[in-house]
Amino acid sequence: MGLLSDPNRRRALISLLTRLNTPICIVCYMAGVAWFMGLAFEPFTLRTYMSENAMGSTMVEERFPAGERALATGREFSAHKKRTGGMPVEWLMKTMQAKGLEVFTQRFSRTLPFPDENKERYMVRGTNVYGILRAPRAPRTEALVLSAPCSPGDNNNQAVGLLLGLAEYFRNQIYWAKDIIFLVNEHDLIGMQAWLEGYHHTNTTGMDWSPLQGRGGSIQAALSLELSSDIITSLDLVLEGLNGQLPNLDLANLFYAFCQKIGVLCTIQGKLQRNDWDSVSGYSHAVQTMMLMVMKQASGRPWGDHGLFLRYHIEAATIKGVNSFRQYKTDATTIGRLLEGMYRKLNNLLERLHQSYFFYLMPSLSHFVSIGYYMPAFGLLAVILLLRALDLWVQLSTPPQRTEDGSSPGVLSLLTPLVISHLTGVALYMLPIRFQEMAVEHFPVSETEAVVLTAIAVYTLLSPGTEQGWRVLKLVAVLYLAVLLGCTALINFSLGFILALTLVPVAAFVTPHVPKVLSAFILVILSPACTLLFSVFFFQELQEMPISFQDGWLLFLSVISQGILDHSLYGSLVYPLITLLVYPCWLLFWNILFWN
Amino acid sequence: MAAPLTLLLLVAVTVRAALFRSSLSELISERVEVVSPLTAWKRVIEGLALLDLGVSPYSGDVFHETPLTIYLFHFLVDYAEVTFMVSVAGSSVVVTYLILFQFRKQKFALEADRYPLDCLELIRSPKEMYYIPLKVAMFYLLNPFTILSCVAKSTCGLNNAIIALFILSTIKGNVLLSAIFLSLATYQSIYPLTLCAPALLYLMQRQYIPVNFRRASFWWFIVQYAFMYLGSLFVIICLSFFLLGSWDYLPSVYGFILSVPDLTPNIGLFWYFFAEMFEHFRLFFLCVFQINVFFYTIPLSIKLKEHPVFLIFMQLAVISIFKSYPTVGDISLYMAFLPVWSHLHRFLRNIFLVSCVLLACSALFPVLWHLWIYAGSANSNFYYAITLLFNVAQILLVSDYFYAFLRREHHLTYGLYLKRKDGSEATLVLK
């Protein structure tokens, strides 16, 4: 408290902070970026370890024998799928019943707000089929889910085959203490959404689905399986769910532990783990893996069918079989054994997975960065905003001449840009879908944005303002941005950090007295839309699939439309966040630049 | 003054009416920051339903409002929205008038020129003071906290209205009304009991009774006030008994407030502490926490016995920070007084820091709640950390105002620009 109450030391501290404001800000920015890049350096990360006692010490033995038969079932499934031209509901029901499960179906239909060009669907209707294996050992109060999507074409047949094979094998074991639900969902996430909403009696997105006839207990964990070939070389773990939510780290640990035990190659973000962390290429490999995770998390979309489970407090992950040109091959029996082992350990759970971390980044499957380590990177960026706000506050509270009557027109001149920029945000949020209903041509986001930008430019060039006025506006905008980014980073660290990387410099340097044209250019380059464009290229680069500018632009547009679809289908929050809050905030800085 | 005030009222009512009609109102009325188990409208409805069925509303563990409130809503349940708007608007108008009234008095102080010459800039010009009542009304009516609490139909709005009426009648010098409203406020939520100290001080100041323990007139006045206060409290309690026909409500309302059995998270300090505590320490810490609310009355009254209105502000703040089930509605009441102390702004030290923290905490409450309850990735520690920070910021705010007030008083007596003996500029050290 000495610092807060001693006037001399306070004065010294404040004068230090205001005098050295710019250098401190630059140092903070550098330090924030450096800290973030350092997170992937192996000595700075923690090794993963199993925190959950129920899964750690218990021994299980995997005995699943029937890989070949599962693949045969998969081939049969694919034949029936081809014949019916969609989900072979009858056949699936009959097969599941033959394996001794309680089988139920659920119908659902959904009309998208506009046609989805990536997956070529507009009016979606389909059926989910699921079978419940009732727990013989315990009251049926808890359940586990194993799901496999029924995808169009020749994809995922093996996954459904393996699911049915596991169902048959699990049925004959006596140690299950939790219901196991085997779910085959149609139309990937839309079907999953319908099933989860039906299971939990909620309806958040206005989808039509028939109520579920059969239920198990409360779902403790779920795995989604994607497998498209008879033999695979490695298994990839996908964790990122809706709004950047991640499952408990113990689920990833469990997967990694069994891969090690059974001897399957496992990857995360499609990247194998390397041991040469002290070499440059090893470090850059880890950075790439982590950056891929950050990008995927920041997008806020579910990257596998498991993504929607997380919203209901269910720890879930997707396991993807990858068949590349590696020497090392794994057959379906081994994958079946791996899944059997994982389910047996999950079966031993006494309470929900909660021991381990929920906030983490993974530079490799065996190492992770927890919230305590990565938050300082964001904190260093956020401190810049607070320092600028402090600087402005000091400037405002010690003006050359004090005029009290300046405050009441100040409120109005402050409210106008705030209200107008938020209205444009609302327009940007509403217009794309409204326009799409009127004109069926290509997606008009860029046009809308152009119109809005011009309107703002015209408006701000005409508006008069005082020297005091822009300082107040900037103070408000900087604090607004700080709170906004702080909240975003808590919910979705990656999104918050990426936005902070681009918006914080804007917020720090913009004043009406910097060169207009150059600053306007920088401002546009660092706008949320351009950030997204860069991210698209960067993401492609990280995945080692660089694309031309033309394709990148098309991808950019499709990413925006996917974002809007994710919002209206699954309730992803990234699109409303950007349009309703981040974009207006950026407009405020634009407004300050053109303050007269 | 009337025209802008009417405009303000119109804006405030429009905002509330729009929010009442929107889908947000349901969401808001579920928020733990806005409603407490004492004030939730949902529970009032439940109590009304029980009452209509001929069952005592206190028979379950749901309803904890006072009997008079439930009988009030028994008649007004269809007009609940209007009632809440009227109570909010009424209390703001009342506060506005009392501020107006207070300033007439201050103008005399200005003319009294008993202060050193260089302190003139510390004393507000009439022009500045002209806008303050309007600002107070604006701070109360357009404060997002008040709006949220009104839209959630939290009965906290009614309590605030009663306290505002109490303050008004005290400042008008009406001893009887002041005692009656104080007993009503106490009846509603115990804690306003501590407001009797500033009320007594103010009324005595007005009637030129010296605050001196050896004078008979001092004790006589206290006995008079206590008689009126206890008498009206007795009448109200008996009235409740006759309305309800049983004493059920005493443990269910006052026992509930004092023993804090409901540990639903809120913005207060109790829930986490008592959820973590071993059961056999509970009674001890309960006493410590509850005494905490009442204890500050003594030192504050001694220090501020010349300034009862500021004492009222301090007491309201202390109550809303330390009470067992605080909501944002309680905070909004003492925040409405902040513009009154605009002359203290030059002495405030941490106002920037504190307002940043309050702002950030208000935004973080729903975010961390979401992470804890819906996403399941955070836990109660995150939420409590923010609660703690929010309360620390409030305490800093209040103590900052207190410090500024004392400092201004010091300057008014000793001059604004203090010099050391050797002629250099002196600094005040608080010890």
Residues B278-291: tens digit of each pLDDT: 888 899 999 999 99
The two structure tokens encoding residue A294: 């950050």
Q: In percent, how much of chain B has pLDDT > 70?
A: 87
Mean pLDDT, residues B156-168 taken together: 86
- A181, A130 contact by CB (below 8 A): yes
B356 CB near a chain A CB, below 8 Å? Answer: yes
Lowest-confidence pick of A451-460, A479-488, B28-37, B266-275 = A451-460
- Could you say which of A5, A390, A483 has the minimum Cβ distance to residue B430? A5
Does residue A404 register a pLDDT over 90? no
- Could you say which of B128, B375, B428 has the minimum Cβ distance to residue A404? B128
Residue A474 lies in a domain: yes
Give chain A's mean pLDDT.
Answer: 84
- Residues B237-260 have pLDDT tens digits of 999 998 888 888 888 889 999 988
> Are B363 and A5 in contact (CB < 8 Å)?
no
What string of H, E and C letters represents the secondary structure of B308-371?
HHHHHHHHHHHHHHHCCCCCHHHHHHHHCCHHHHHHHHHHCCCHHHHHHHHHHHHHHHHHHHHH
- B141, B8 contact by CB (below 8 A): yes
Burial (0-12, 13-18, 19+ Cβ within 10 Å), A549: exposed
What is the chain A residue with the closest CA to B361?
A: A483
Residue A204 — φ and ψ, nearest 5°? -95, -20
What whole-number distance in Å separates Cα of residue A86 and Cα of residue A186? 8
The two structure tokens encoding residue A16: 């230090």
Find chain B residues with C-beta within 8 A of A390's C-beta. Answer: 352
What whole-number distance in Å separates Cα of residue B51 and Cα of residue B71? 9
What whole-number distance in Å separates Cα of residue B380 and Cα of residue A375? 19
Does residue A561 register a pLDDT over 50? yes
Between A517 and A581, the more confident residue is A581
Domain co-membership, A455 together with A309: no
- A129, A163 contact by CB (below 8 A): no
- Residues A324-346 have pLDDT tens digits of 877 888 888 899 999 999 999 89
Q: What is the pLDDT of residue A406?
A: 44
> Are B352 and A483 in contact (CB < 8 Å)?
no
- Residues A10-51 have pLDDT tens digits of 788 888 888 888 899 999 999 999 999 999 888 888 888 888
Residue A273 — φ and ψ, nearest 5°? -85, 145
Lowest-confidence pick of A341-355, A496-510, B338-352 = B338-352
Distance from B397 to chain A by nearest Cα, in Å?
A: 12
- Could you say which of A10, A390, A487 has the minimum Cβ distance to residue B364? A487
The two structure tokens encoding residue A180: 């196991």
Q: What is the pLDDT of residue B121?
A: 61
Strand bridging mode A367-370 / A234-238: unpaired
Give chain B's mean pLDDT.
Answer: 83
Lowest-confidence pick of A145-149, B279-283, B374-378 = B374-378
What whole-number distance in Å separates Cα of residue A25 and Cα of residue A525? 20
Q: What is the pLDDT of residue A483?
A: 94
Domain co-membership, A344 together with A418: no
- Of the pLDDT bands very low, low, confident and very high (cuts 50, 70, 90), residue B417 is low
- Of the pLDDT bands very low, low, confident and very high (cuts 50, 70, 90), residue A437 is low
What whole-number distance in Å separates Cα of residue A101 and Cα of residue A180? 10
- Residues A347-394 have pLDDT tens digits of 888 888 888 888 999 998 889 999 889 999 999 999 999 999 988 888
Mean pLDDT, residues A53-78 taken together: 83
Domain co-membership, A316 together with A450: no
Q: What is the pLDDT of residue B228?
A: 92
B360 CB near a chain A CB, below 8 Å? Answer: yes
Return the bridge partners of A126, or none: A108
Return the bridge partners of A131, or none: A103, A182
CA quadruple A322, A328, A332, A333: dihedral sign: negative
Return the bridge partners of A271, or none: A268
Find chain B residues with C-beta within 8 A of A250's C-beta. Answer: none
Q: What is the pLDDT of residue B108?
A: 47
> Are B363 and A483 in contact (CB < 8 Å)?
yes
Distance from A405 to chain B by nearest Cα, in Å?
A: 9
Q: What is the pLDDT of residue B369?
A: 92
> Are B375 and A311 in contact (CB < 8 Å)?
yes
Does residue B426 register a pLDDT over 70? no
Q: What is the pLDDT of residue A440?
A: 47
What whole-number distance in Å separates Cα of residue A494 and Cα of residue A207? 30
Distance from B14 to chain A by nearest Cα, in Å?
A: 17
Does residue B394 register a pLDDT over 90? yes
Q: What is the pLDDT of residue A405?
A: 43
Distance from A386 to chain B by nearest Cα, in Å?
A: 9
Distance from B136 to chain A by nearest Cα, in Å?
A: 15
Mean pLDDT, residues A472-493 taken together: 91
Lowest-confidence pick of A122-131, B110-119, B372-381 = B110-119
B378 CB near a chain A CB, below 8 Å? Answer: yes
The two structure tokens encoding residue B209: 């009774």
Number of domains forming the structure of chain A: 2
- Could you say which of B352, B359, B371 has the minimum Cβ distance to residue A491? B371
Q: Which residue, among B430, B198, B166, B170, has the nearest Cα to B310 in the 3D structure? A: B198
What is the chain B residue with the closest CA to A248?
A: B377
| A:B CB pairs within 8 Å | 50
Place of tokens 């069918």: A305
> Are B363 and A479 in contact (CB < 8 Å)?
no
Q: Which residues contact B327 (CB under 8 A, 6 or more apart)?
A: B33, B34, B35, B36, B39, B149, B154, B156, B266, B267
Q: What is the pLDDT of residue A88?
A: 87
Distance from A565 to chain B by nearest Cα, in Å?
A: 21
DSSP A110: E
What whole-number distance in Å separates Cα of residue A451 and Cα of residue B160? 48
- B335, B145 contact by CB (below 8 A): yes
Domain co-membership, A324 together with A418: no
B367 CB near a chain A CB, below 8 Å? Answer: yes
Q: What is the pLDDT of residue A407?
A: 46
> Are B427 and A8 in contact (CB < 8 Å)?
yes
A218, A344, B171, B344 from A137: Cα distances, Å: 16, 13, 73, 71
- Could you say which of A245, A404, A482 has the minimum Cβ distance to residue B377? A245
Distance from A491 to chain B by nearest Cα, in Å?
A: 7
Place of tokens 């099933």: A195
What is the chain B residue with the closest CA to A484?
A: B363
What is the chain B residue with the closest CA to A479?
A: B356
Q: What is the pLDDT of residue B358?
A: 92
Question: Hey, how many other C-beta atoms are within 10 angstroms of the C-beta on B112?
Answer: 8
- Could you say which of B360, B375, B376 has the minimum Cβ distance to residue A486? B360
> Are B350 and A4 in contact (CB < 8 Å)?
yes
Does residue B2 register a pLDDT over 80? no
Residue A217 lies in a domain: yes
Nearest-5° Cα angle at A237, A108 to A141: 55
Find chain A residues with C-beta within 8 A of B356's C-beta. Answer: 386, 389, 479
B7 CB near a chain A CB, below 8 Å? Answer: no
Burial (0-12, 13-18, 19+ Cβ within 10 Å), A45: buried
Place of tokens 């860069």: A534
Q: Which residues contact B209 (CB under 8 A, 6 or more apart)?
A: B215, B217, B218, B221
Lowest-confidence pick of A73-77, A418-422, B395-399 = A418-422
Does residue B418 register a pLDDT over 80? no
What is the chain B residue with the closest CA to A397?
A: B346
Nearest-5° Cα angle at A41, A36 to A47: 110
Q: How far is CA B59 from the centre of its chain?
A: 30
Does residue A461 register a pLDDT over 60? no
Question: Hey, how many other C-beta atoms are within 10 angstroms of the C-beta on A457?
Answer: 15
Question: Hey, how many other C-beta atoms are within 10 angstroms of the C-beta on B94?
Answer: 21
Range of the domain at A206: 69-269+302-350
Q: What is the pLDDT of residue A436?
A: 61
Return the bridge partners of A145, or none: A181, A222
Q: What is the pLDDT of residue A463?
A: 56
Q: How many residues does chain B have?
A: 431
Distance from B305 to chain A by nearest Cα, in Å?
A: 25
Domain co-membership, A170 together with A263: yes
Mean pLDDT, residues A447-471 taken together: 62
> Are A483 and B350 in contact (CB < 8 Å)?
no
Residue A423 lies in a domain: yes
Q: Which residues contact A300 (CB under 8 A, 6 or more apart)?
A: A242, A243, A244, A492, A495, A563, A566, A572, A573, A574
Find chain A residues with C-beta within 8 A of B363's C-beta. Answer: 483, 486-487
Does residue B63 register a pLDDT over 70? yes
| ipTM of the complex, rounded to two decimals | 0.86
Mean pLDDT, residues B398-427 taken together: 77
What whole-number distance in Å separates Cα of residue B218 and Cα of residue B207? 11
B23 CB near a chain A CB, below 8 Å? Answer: no
What whole-number distance in Å separates Cα of residue B390 and Cα of residue A340? 49
Mean pLDDT, residues B227-233 taken together: 93
Q: Where are the domains of chain B?
A: 1-346
What whole-number distance in Å separates Cα of residue A45 and Cα of residue A252? 16
Does residue B422 register a pLDDT over 70? no
Q: Which residue, among B380, B366, B398, has the nearest Cα to B34 in the 3D structure? A: B366
Does residue B138 register a pLDDT over 70? yes
Domain co-membership, A478 together with A570: yes
DSSP A271: B
- A482, A385 contact by CB (below 8 A): yes
Mutate to test the interface with A, among B27, B352, B380, B382 (most CBs of A within 10 A): B352
Q: Where are the alpha helices (DSSP H) in B112-195?
A: 126-141, 144-151, 156-172, 175-189
Domain co-membership, A254 together with A123: yes
Domain harbouring A80, CATH code:
3.40.630.10
Q: What is the pLDDT of residue B76?
A: 77
What is the chain B residue with the closest CA to A249?
A: B377
- Residues A514-551 have pLDDT tens digits of 888 888 888 888 888 888 889 999 998 888 887 888 88
- B228, B179 contact by CB (below 8 A): yes
Q: What is the DSSP string of A527-555?
A: SHHHHHHHHHHHHHHHTT----HHHHHHH
Q: What is the pLDDT of residue A448?
A: 56
Distance from A14 to chain B by nearest Cα, in Å?
A: 12
Find chain A residues with C-beta within 8 A of B430's C-beta. Answer: 5
What whole-number distance in Å separates Cα of residue B57 and Cα of residue B64? 9
Find chain A residues with C-beta within 8 A of B131's C-beta. Answer: 408
B278 CB near a chain A CB, below 8 Å? Answer: no
Mutate to test the interface with A, among B370, B377, B397 (most CBs of A within 10 A): B377
> Are B349 and A390 in contact (CB < 8 Å)?
no
Find chain A residues with C-beta within 8 A of B352's C-beta. Answer: 389-390, 393
Distance from B195 to chain A by nearest Cα, in Å?
A: 29
- A474, A511 contact by CB (below 8 A): yes
Q: Which residue, among B52, B81, B46, has the nearest Cα to B64 in the 3D structure? A: B46
Distance from B151 to chain A by nearest Cα, in Å?
A: 22
> Are B367 and A490 in contact (CB < 8 Å)?
yes
Packing angle between helix B80-111 and helix B67-76, nearest 10 degrees?
Answer: 120
- Could you say which of A390, A404, A490 has the minimum Cβ distance to residue B371? A490
Q: In percent, how much of chain A has pLDDT > 70?
A: 91
Residue A160 lies in a domain: yes
- Residues B169-178 have pLDDT tens digits of 888 888 899 9
AA identity, residue B161? A
Find chain B residues with C-beta within 8 A of A246's C-beta. Answer: 377
Return the bridge partners of A184, or none: A129, A148
Find chain B residues with C-beta within 8 A of A393's C-beta. Answer: 352
Domain co-membership, A443 together with A332: no
Residue A460 lies in a domain: yes
- Residues A299-311 have pLDDT tens digits of 988 988 898 998 8
Mean pLDDT, residues A486-493 taken together: 92
